[in-house]
Amino acid sequence: MIEVTRGSSPLILGLPHTGTDIPSDCADCLNEVGSSLADTDWHIEKLYAGLVEGATYVRTPIHRYVIDVNRDPSGISLYPGQNTTGLCPLTDFDGRAIYAAGREPNADEIARRTATYHAPYHAALAAEVARVKALHGFAILYDCHSIRSEIPFLFDGTLPDFNIGTNSSGACARQIEALVYARTRAATGYTCVLNGRFKGGWTTRHYGNPKGGVHAIQMELAQSTHITESRGWEINRPRFDALREHLRAILTDLQNWRPL
């Protein structure tokens, strides 16, 4: 179920939100809003495919509406006091219910989904982190995300194009953070922010342990940089291809980085 492509470099790419699979028992409970799967990280697996040689990829095909593998399995909010979606989301990013009335998952169902989908993804990801660290003495986990550039329920105004999250500089070496931030700042025609609205999800916070040789960083891309932000979610080829070159530079820097 979990898709793993093993590489030999220090770099691991996590793909937690590109899946569109909805098991039938869950699909039957979703309403029209939920069935649209609007909050998918559309085409992100294509955007990052083949940018550098030797990277490891870990992807779940399960949609985030079934369970969000980038959320704390205990259900604790990543952003207390702010609008967000939970482990098994009940609303979409616009705050609209995604389940038919009375068909929302209960505690037992959430526990089942956690064991069935969340735990296997992180078992696979943890195994690759351990394998890569054993090869190189360190590992860099780069978590790949995207989101619509304007979502009033979650944030004010328009989101920057590149949103780098390092758990307020605690999830990776400062040199890694600086490399990625420098590349985004140098990208002509794009905007960027470091540890803004998105500081890194559970994956970044859970795995990031710079002193222990595991460096984690999240990249949340505004979807306006590469697709049409409306139903259909079509690739904008010129923007998509231009963005890939900037991402290639970022991943190349990360693959070439070595601890001091």
Domain harbouring 201, CATH code: 3.40.630.40
Spell out, as residue ranges, where the chain has pLDDT lower than 50.
Answer: none
Helix (H, G, I), strand (E, B) or coil at 8: coil
Q: How many domains does the chain have?
A: 1
| Closest of 244, 202, 218, 214 to residue 43, by C-alpha | 244
User: Considering the domain boundaries, does residue 105 fall inside one?
Assistant: no
Cβ atoms within 10 Å of 86's Cβ, excluding its own: 16
User: Considering the domain boundaries, does residue 180 fall inside one?
Assistant: yes
DSSP state of 228: -
User: Considering the domain boundaries, does residue 84 fall inside one?
Assistant: no
User: Considering the domain boundaries, does residue 70 fall inside one?
Assistant: no
> What are the residues facing 219 on neighbouring strands?
144, 164
132: containing domain:
3-20+41-63+116-256
Q: Which segments of the chain does DSSP mark as H helices, in order?
A: 24-27, 32-35, 44-48, 107-113, 119-136, 174-185, 202-207, 237-256
User: Considering the domain boundaries, does residue 141 fall inside one?
Assistant: yes
Please report the pLDDT score of residue 67 as a whole number: 98
Cβ atoms within 10 Å of 255's Cβ, excluding its own: 17
User: Considering the domain boundaries, does residue 133 fall inside one?
Assistant: yes
Please report the pLDDT score of residue 1 as a whole number: 84
Please report the pLDDT score of residue 80 as a whole number: 87
- Cα–Cα distance, 87 to 105 (Å, whole number): 11
Please report the pLDDT score of residue 129 as a whole number: 98
User: Considering the domain boundaries, does residue 36 fall inside one?
Assistant: no
User: Considering the domain boundaries, does residue 107 fall inside one?
Assistant: no
pTM: predicted TM-score of the whole model, two decimal places: 0.97
Helix (H, G, I), strand (E, B) or coil at 239: helix
